[in-house]
């Protein structure tokens, strides 16, 4: 069984983690994802089968093809410098960091936070109202 170079976890565990986390958000927010060339998505076909999420890959060495992701990485680095061992943090601590980042107003969202936009989506689509982080 292959392991991710960075985490050392078996790729099946990485696949299951992605699957579980993404299935917990409203379906309109999980139509597709654009990924880099990392080994952790080597099982992307199985991931798409399990989630219905289309996976696209950027060209190598082309971070501008994932601009919003690169911006988010910069925000995360304010809390967790590159190379940080995430295993020393609890899921609750990591969720608190994500919530703090996602509660910041963004110009591209009309000075609303991603959490506010997500709540609006859920409020406007009652069938998704149970899918709140």
More confident residue, 40 or 34: 34
Does some domain include residue 78? no
Full residue range of the structural domain in which residue 25 is found: 1-57
Does some domain include residue 30? yes
Q: What is the CA radius of gyration of the chain?
A: 16
Does some domain include residue 73? no
Does some domain include residue 118? yes
Does some domain include residue 31? yes
At 106-127, the pLDDT tens digits run 998 999 999 999 888 888 876 6
Structural tokens at position 33: 């994802």
Does some domain include residue 3? yes
- Are 34 and 57 a contacting pair, CB within 8 Å? yes
Structural domain count, the chain: 2
Does some domain include residue 94? no
Q: What is the dihedral of CA 63, 26, 131, 7, to 10 degrees?
A: -30
Residue 55, classed as helix, strand or coil, is strand
At 56-115, the pLDDT tens digits run 888 888 888 888 888 888 999 999 998 898 889 998 999 999 999 999 999 989 999 999
The pLDDT of 37-49, averaged and rounded, is: 82
């Amino acid at each position: 069984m292959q392991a991710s170079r960075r985490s050392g976890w078996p790729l099946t565990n990485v696949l299951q983690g992605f699957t579980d986390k993404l299935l917990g958000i409203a379906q309109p927010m999980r139509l597709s994802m654009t990924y880099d060339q990392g080994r952790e998505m080597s099982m992307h076909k199985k991931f798409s089968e399990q989630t219905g999420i289309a996976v696209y890959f950027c060209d190598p060495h082309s971070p501008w093809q994932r601009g919003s992701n690169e911006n988010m990485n910069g925000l995360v680095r304010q809390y967790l410098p590159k190379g940080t061992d995430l295993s020393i943090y609890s899921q609750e601590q990591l969720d608190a960091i994500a919530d703090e980042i996602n509660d910041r107003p963004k110009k591209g969202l009309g000075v609303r936070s991603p959490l506010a936009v997500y709540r609006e989506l859920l409020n406007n689509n009652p069938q998704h109202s149970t899918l709140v982080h």
